[in-house]
């Protein structure tokens, strides 16, 4: 299932073939993300977009480092500075 053809219909609608919907686990009414990359469009489920973002972060952040903890610590320092200014 590497390639298939479809047409752009009225209102810019594109039909996703049933085999593709099944492979993606996509059902009518589900939300999808369209990402324009150069002259290509990627279609992702929100879950796949999250997995992709997590993989990107993992490639650039060393193991054991928790960005969420760093962000919270930074916000607490900023809040403490703000309260001292008042």
Q: What is the pTM of this model?
A: 0.57
Q: How far is CA 67 from CA 43, 58, 64, 73, 78, in A?
A: 28, 11, 10, 10, 16
Residue 85 has pLDDT above 90, yes or no: no
Give the pLDDT of residue 1. Answer: 63
pLDDT of residue 8: 93
pLDDT for the residue numbered 29:
93
The model's pLDDT over 28-71, given as tens digits with 9 standing for 90+, comes to: 999 999 999 999 999 999 999 999 999 998 888 888 888 888 89
**pLDDT band for position 75 (50/70/90)?**
very high
């Amino acid at each position: 299932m590497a390639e298939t053809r479809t047409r752009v219909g009225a209102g810019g609608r594109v039909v996703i073939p049933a085999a593709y919907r099944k492979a993606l686990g996509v059902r009518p009414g589900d939300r999808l993300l369209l990402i324009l990359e150069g002259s290509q469009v990627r279609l992702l489920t929100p879950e796949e977009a999250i997995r992709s973002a997590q993989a990107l972060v993992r490639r650039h952040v060393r193991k054991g480092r928790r960005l969420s903890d760093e962000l919270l610590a930074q916000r607490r320092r900023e809040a403490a500075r703000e309260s001292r200014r008042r």
